[in-house]
Amino acid sequence: MLLLLVPAFACDGDLFEPFVPLLRPDFDCECVIGEEPDLKACAAQVVAHAAGRPFVVGGTSFGGHVAREVALLRPANLRGLVVMGASARAPADRAVFDQRRARIEAGLAAEMNEDMARRIVFEEEGRGQEAADTFRRMAARAPTDRLLAQNEALATRPDRLGDLASVDVPTLLIWGAEDGFSPPAEGQLMAERMPDARFVELEACGHLPSLETPMRVASEIRSRFA
């Protein structure tokens, strides 16, 4: 089965590299980076990348929002959905994204990314340090245009709570118990509103499960879709 993976804000394929080898030979994993200032346009990128092949789509944070939009487009070749750490709610306050945009445009992306790295994983100074360092490397090489586009897509995302009942493919919702950006309760709420969803909460894990607990993530994906 083809598994199309959409990375989080400022991230690339290295976000999923720890668990991709664990999914072989059940899945052919390919990365699709959303680069449009609109989630629906990013979702269209993913569908185009599939090129008619049956696929499961998964994503983390920004990528999770994109993956959910793919499911809402209801392409006939979609076989499943994986969302990690991406609430279905619209942003409560656009100001945080305006501030982020201002920092990027002012050439302060490195400072912004460091702030995120310190919050994005659980126990950064302990076992999460490697995951945080991987985020730092990805963010450091992310082009400014991509950061601005992804930030705009996040800032303008619609509220999708009322649309979740229309997602008619098997769904896996994976949340870190210590997620500092999107609490697990958001994943539980999504599961309650979707017709065929399984919610999994990972102990001692932050916002990037594929880096922090890759074996568990791979196991859950294989159990749900292999």
How many angstroms separate the CA atoms of 109 and 150, rounded?
A: 13
Count of all residues that appear for the chain in the document: 226
Residue listed under structure tokens 């690339």:
12
Total tally of structural domains belonging to the chain: 1
Interval 126-181: pLDDT, tens: 768 899 999 999 999 999 999 999 999 999 999 999 999 999 999 999 999 999 99
What beta strand segments (E) does the chain contain? 2-6, 28-31, 55-60, 78-84, 171-176, 197-202
Domain that holds residue 24: 2-225
Which pTM was predicted? Answer: 0.96
CATH code: domain of residue 75? 3.40.50.1820
**Strand pairing category for 171-176 and 2-6:** unpaired
Q: Tell me the pLDDT band of 21, cut-offs 50, 70 and 90.
A: very high
Looking at the chain, the whole-number percentage of residues with pLDDT higher than 70 is: 99
